Structure 1
Amino acid sequence: MSYTFDFSDFAPYMGMLAHGVAVTLVLTAISTVLGGIVGIVGAMVAVAGGKGARALVAAYVELIRNTPFLVQLFFVFFGLPSLGVHIDEMQAAVLAMTVNLGAYALEIVRAGIDSIPRGQLQAAMALGLQGRQVFRHIVLPQALANVFPALLGQVLIVMLGSAVVSQISVPDLTYAANFIQSRNFRSFESYIIATVIYLLLSIVLRLLINRLCRRLFAGRAARGSAGTSRNGLRAWFSARAAAVAGIQTERS
Structure 2
Amino acid sequence: MKLNLDFGVVLERWPAFLDGAVMTLQLAVIATLLGAAIGAVGAVCRRSRNRLAAGISDIYVETIRNTPLLVQIFLVYFGLASMGLKFSAFTVAAVALTINVGAYTTEIMRAGFDSIPRGQIEAAEGLALSRLQIYWHVVLWPAVERVYPALTSQFVLLMLASSVTSQISAEELTAVANYIQSDTYRAFETYILVAIAYIALSLIMRTGFWALGLVLFPRRRRLGTPL
**TM-score, structure 2 as length reference:** 0.95
Distance in 2 between the 1:207 and 1:215 partners?
13
The one-letter amino acid paired with 1:170 is A
Determine if contact 2:10/2:186 at 8 Å carries over to the other structure: no
Structure 1 match to 2:19: 19
Question: Counterpart in 1 of 2:51?
Answer: 51
1:33 is matched with 33
Percent sequence identity over aligned pairs: 42
Tell me the matched-pair count.
225
Q: 21-30 or 136-145, which moves further after superposition?
A: 136-145
How far apart, CA to CA, are the structure 2 residues paired with 1:177 and 1:94?
Answer: 20
Q: Distance in 2 between matches of 1:3 and 1:78?
A: 42
SS in 2 for 1:48: coil
User: Given the superposition, is the C-alpha separation of residues 220 and 134 from structure 1 closer, same or farther in structure 2, using an over 3 Å criterion?
Assistant: farther
Gaps of 5+ in 1: 227-252
Q: CA deviation at 1:3?
A: 1.2
Cα pair distance change 1:46/1:13, threshold 3 Å: same
CA, structure 1 residues 84+9, in 2 after alignment: closer, same or farther (shift >3 Å)? same
**1:11 Cα deviation after fit:** 3.7
1:85 offset after TM fit, Å? 3.0
- Look up the equivalent residue of 1:12 and give its one-letter code: E
Specify the alignment match of 2:8 in structure 1.
Answer: 8
CA offsets 1:181-231 (integer angstroms, 9 cap, x no match): 010100000000000000111112112211211221112443x569xxxxx
Aligned to 1:84: 84
Task: Kindly indicate whether residue 174 of structure 2 is the aligned counterpart of residue 196 of structure 1.
Answer: no
What does residue 61 of structure 1 align with?
61
SS at match of 1:86: coil
Which residue does the alignment assign to 1:140? 140
Structure with the greater relative contact order (CA < 8 A, sep ≥ 6): 1 or 2?
A: 2
- What's the TM-score, normalizing by structure 1? 0.86
User: What CA distance in whole angstroms lies between the structure 2 residues aligned with 1:135 and 1:65?
Assistant: 26
Partners of 2:120 and 2:135 lie apart in 1 by 11
- Aligned counterparts of 2:49 and 2:12: Cα–Cα separation in 1: 55
Instruction: Please show how residues 91-240 of structure 1 align to structure 2 within 5 Å.
Output: 91-222=91-222, 224=223
In structure 2, the residue matched to 1:232 is none
From the superposition, tell whether residues 225 and 27 of structure 1 become closer, same or farther in structure 2 (CA, over 3 Å).
Answer: closer
* Structure 2 letter corresponding to 1:189: E
Q: Counterpart of 1:171 in structure 2: which amino acid? A: E
Q: Is the contact made by 2:10 and 2:189 (CA closer than 8 Å) also made in structure 1?
A: no
RMSD: 1.4
| Aligned-partner residue type, residue 47 of structure 1 | R
Letter of the 2:218 counterpart = A
SS of alignment partner, residue 87 of structure 1: coil
Bigger Cα Rg = 1
Moved more, 57-66 or 75-84: 75-84
Measure, in 1, the Cα distance between the counterparts of 2:175 and 2:26: 15
